[in-house]
Amino acid sequence: MITIFTHTKPFIEHFDIIQYNAIKSWRAISDDVEIIIYGDAEGSDNMAEEVNAKRVKSVPKSENGMPLLTYLFDHTKIIAQYDLLCYVNADIILPPNILNAINLIDRWSKKMIIGNRLDLDLRYKINYNDYKWWQKLFDYAIIEGEWHKKGGIDYFIFPKKLWKDMPDIYLGLPGSDNWLIWNARCRHIPVIDISNIVYAIHQNHDYSHLGDIDDSGYRIGSAEKGIKNYLSGLETAHNRQLLPKGVSMNINDATYYLSEKGPIRKKEAADIQRYLFSLIKIYPKTKFPILIIYSLLSYYIKIKKYYNNRFVLNG
């Protein structure tokens, strides 16, 4: 089984709907799933009681009030009931089949599982008493939703002892997910993309929760100010500095993808090309020999594309 943990925003207005839908979906996976809710946001206690989740209210934060993701990872290792952990943002609806997908990946003691998401506008609370809730939501999301770019990753699944000596990383900001993938790749840990099997749904929202903090500790400012803090705030700059210059790994840098039969090594020409490019980022001293192989492969891909197009045009 698995321990799912997150940090919540205040359960107010649209974020009340979003977080209700997300956290209730985790409980719908199984009554045996352990859920841990971090932070002292308004409404978190009520949500935790409703889904029978553990609560950890005190979380270290930056001067701007941004929670420390490193603390969540370290503390969860101590208090989690299960060995397999899943950090997920509190706006992500997880599908009922996620445990079945995870069970297909049992060959490695060390692994990191990630996935893409469908972005969807959702303005109502899901009726989880309806046994068809997922099918209805999925049908709607496929029509109205949009796959997110591969740079955004909202959930990470990993064994309890995977991370050691993690630097200070701030939650929910650019750079955090990139560092996790880069570090796993540096340590030769298999990174598995389960997007082919698991359709996680992200509920769209603004960034008003990242507005500036007034003297009394409350968030103020517009959504425009929030997105500015998200993209270029002090914590975002800090996260990005943890990575070597020019490194920004994402879902495309996963080394495996999940099929219904289990993990499959990514070995298409374009995948190998991406893999070689990532090796340059991980091992800069090997840059020149890898660039030679990379260039040869790029040439091969261009030739293959040329002859494929020629075959199509000639019928």
pLDDT in tens, the chain (315 residues): 899 999 999 998 889 999 999 999 999 999 999 999 999 999 999 999 999 999 999 999 887 788 899 999 999 999 999 999 999 999 999 999 999 999 999 878 899 999 999 999 999 999 999 999 999 999 999 999 989 877 678 899 999 989 888 888 888 777 788 889 988 998 999 999 999 999 999 998 766 655 555 554 545 555 565 566 666 577 777 778 877 776 778 899 999 999 998 999 988 877 777 777 777 777 777 666 777 776 777 776 677 665 666 554 455
Co-location of 85 and 13 in the same domain = yes
Co-location of 127 and 239 in the same domain = yes
Q: How many domains does the chain have?
A: 2
Co-location of 221 and 302 in the same domain = no
Co-location of 130 and 252 in the same domain = yes
Co-location of 55 and 136 in the same domain = yes
Q: Is 224 helix (H, G, I), strand (E, B) or coil?
A: helix
Co-location of 147 and 65 in the same domain = yes
pTM of the prediction?
0.84
Co-location of 114 and 178 in the same domain = yes
Co-location of 133 and 91 in the same domain = yes
Which CATH number do you get for residue 86?
3.90.550.10
Range of the domain at 295: 267-313
Rounded Cα–Cα distance for residues 272 and 266 (Å): 7
Lookup: tokens for 303: 């030739």
Co-location of 180 and 274 in the same domain = no
Rounded Cα–Cα distance for residues 87 and 55 (Å): 15
Co-location of 193 and 273 in the same domain = no
Co-location of 159 and 273 in the same domain = no
Co-location of 209 and 130 in the same domain = yes
